[in-house]
Amino acid sequence: MTDRADIPTAHCATSAAETARGRVVVAMSGGVDSSLVAALLKRQGYEVVGITLQLYDHGEATARKGACCAGQDIQDARRVADLIGIPHYVLDYERRFADTVMSSFADSYMAGETPIPCVTCNQEIKFKDLLGMALELGADKLATGHYIRLDHTPSGPVLSRARDADRDQSYFLYATTRAQLERIMFPLGDLPKSDVRELARELGLPVADKTDSQDICFVPKGRYTDVIERLKPGALKAGDIVHVDGRHLGRHDGIINFTVGQRRGIRIPSQEPLFVVRLNAARNEVVVGPRQALETTALILKGVNWLGDEDLRDAAAGERALHVRVRSSQPTQPAILTAEADGSIKVTLCEGQQGIAAGQACVFYADGSDTARVLGGGTIVRTLRSADEPAIGATKLNEAAGAEVARR
């Protein structure tokens, strides 16, 4: 394992051509995407330095197919670096990752939320810590293997969805700030995954056909409750299951076993299908009800990162029409952005959506196209139903919905 102080700020083998193109640190996870990025930038004449962050190391997770940033992945990154002729360093970030990503993941679930740890990892580890380290080492840029497009314009960086819609990772990168985008490279934004693997094969990279990593990389066997119990002993506390109409229906073994929209595992006899409608952490209650009780028409956000041309407050004051996505696997939908009296940001959906949970991300897009510009986003702190909120300007909602129909 390398200490960051041991990484040189220059390399004797650097050619004049590489010096002219500049120095780039590549975040190498050991997968095909970041490996190809390192190889392509090297061929383009950059002075490339590969850095792998060891984020965790707990038994089965390091050997699990589809995991990343531990065990075999570190060895794969080193093999690629040796093959293409670049220096490679492994930094121990296990404690930082546990304190920043894993701990907040557990806290969020215990608060009755559905967190997205990949957003936290990108925001706090890759584009904060690792980018800062890259700049300290004299690099001009940090490059990653994410699928998203980044263009530099006279008015600043513009982030857009990847050309390969099936691989687009904009949902997980909305929190990247303008200042960070000035120092980041996303070389794969215009490439489909099939081309990435083909290029990797042509270059002889040993990871060309390696299985892609999974979203929650630190969860062995997909059992997130095991991780939460290990991090937060006593997290599993029994409580009540209640109906939205107030009836007491039964008991549960811990709210961390449930997410909003869940149907299986409730284990309550009922003549109608029951779904988890909300989780009341303060009372340790799981609230269930019929499918229609899941309908959400508006969202209150926190931690909003705005990437639009106008100021966020100006956009919200003007009831900005845009598109949003509240799950990475779902299409965008038209919505209206406004500001509440207390300054919080509200998103009103033109069409209600079911099963939205606090803790999820709401990502903003300029329109509903597959290559739309990313306008930022925020974390959902509260969901609202039509009965809970005053009606937003009907004209604005109709305009946004009409624009979507016209686009289609």
Instruction: Kindly report the three-state secondary structure assignment for every residue of 255-309.
Output: HHHCCCCCCCCCCCCCCCCCEEEEEECCCCEEEEECHHHHEEEEEEEEEEEECCC
Alpha carbon separation from 164 to 160, 161, 169 (Å, rounded): 11, 8, 10
* Contact between 316 and 341 (Cβ < 8 Å): no
* Contact between 385 and 295 (Cβ < 8 Å): yes
pLDDT for residue 331 is more than 90: yes
Torsion angle (degrees, nearest 10) of CA 384, 390, 393, 397: 20
**Measured distance CA(367)–CA(372) in Å, rounded:** 6
Tell me which fold the domain 4-221 belongs to.
Rossmann fold (3.40.50)
Please give the residue that has the higher pLDDT: either 323 or 402.
Answer: 323
pLDDT value at residue 224 = 87
pLDDT value at residue 399 = 53
pLDDT digits (tens, 9 = 90+) for 334-351: 999 999 989 899 999 999
Please report where in the chains the tokens 């050991």 appear, as a residue.
Answer: 30
Least confident of 171-180, 291-300, 381-390: 381-390
pLDDT value at residue 246 = 95
pLDDT digits (tens, 9 = 90+) for 43-68: 999 999 999 999 876 454 444 454 55
The answer for 138, left when phi > 0, alpha when psi is -120 to 50, beta otherwise, is left
pLDDT for residue 395 is more than 80: no
Burial zone of 90 (CB within 10 Å; 0-12 exposed, 13-18 middle, 19+ buried): middle
For 314, residues 6+ apart whose C-beta sits below 8 A from its C-beta are: none
DSSP 50-74: EEEEE----THHHHSTT--SSTHHH
Other C-beta atoms within 10 Å of 127: how many?
A: 23
Secondary structure of residue 405 in the 3-state scheme:
helix
Q: How would you label 40-70 residue by residue, b for 16+ Cβ within 10 Å and e otherwise?
A: bbbeeebbbbbbbbbbbeeeebbebeebbbb
pLDDT for residue 241 is more than 50: yes
pLDDT digits (tens, 9 = 90+) for 111-128: 999 999 999 999 999 999
**Per-residue pLDDT band at 213 (split at 50, 70, 90):** confident
pLDDT digits (tens, 9 = 90+) for 150-166: 999 999 999 999 999 99
Of residues 268, 226, 235, the one with CA closest to residue 253: 235
- Tell me which CATH homologous superfamily contains domain 236-289: Adenine nucleotide alpha hydrolases-like domains (2.30.30.280)
pLDDT for residue 20 is more than 90: no
The boundaries of every CATH 2.40.30.10 domain in the chain are: 296-407
pLDDT value at residue 10 = 55
Tell me which fold the domain 296-407 belongs to.
Elongation Factor Tu (Ef-tu); domain 3 (2.40.30)
Q: At what angle do helices 193-202 and 32-43 cross, to 10 degrees?
A: 60
Give mean pLDDT, residues 26-32.
Answer: 96
pLDDT for residue 131 is more than 80: yes
* Contact between 383 and 279 (Cβ < 8 Å): no
The boundaries of every CATH 3.40.50.620 domain in the chain are: 4-221
pLDDT digits (tens, 9 = 90+) for 253-309: 999 999 999 999 899 988 899 999 999 999 999 999 999 999 999 999 999 999 999
pLDDT value at residue 405 = 42
pLDDT value at residue 21 = 80
pLDDT value at residue 71 = 76
Least confident of 77-81, 176-180, 219-223, 309-313: 219-223
pLDDT value at residue 385 = 85
Of residues 255, 271, 250, 263, the one with CA closest to residue 354: 263
Token reading at 264: 């299986």
Q: So which residues are the catalytic ones?
A: 121, 217
**Measured distance CA(68)–CA(101) in Å, rounded:** 15
pLDDT value at residue 216 = 77
**Per-residue pLDDT band at 217 (split at 50, 70, 90):** confident
Sheet of strand 141-143: strand arrangement: 88-92, 47-54, 23-27, 141-143, 184-185
Other C-beta atoms within 10 Å of 93: how many?
A: 19
The pTM score is 0.88
Percent of the chain with pLDDT over 90: 76
pLDDT value at residue 74 = 93
DSSP class of 98: I
User: Please, what is the average pLDDT of the chain?
Assistant: 88
pLDDT digits (tens, 9 = 90+) for 73-113: 999 999 999 999 999 999 999 999 999 999 999 999 999 99
pLDDT value at residue 222 = 73
Alpha carbon separation from 79 to 36, 41, 115, 144, 205 (Å, rounded): 13, 17, 34, 18, 9
**Measured distance CA(67)–CA(73) in Å, rounded:** 8
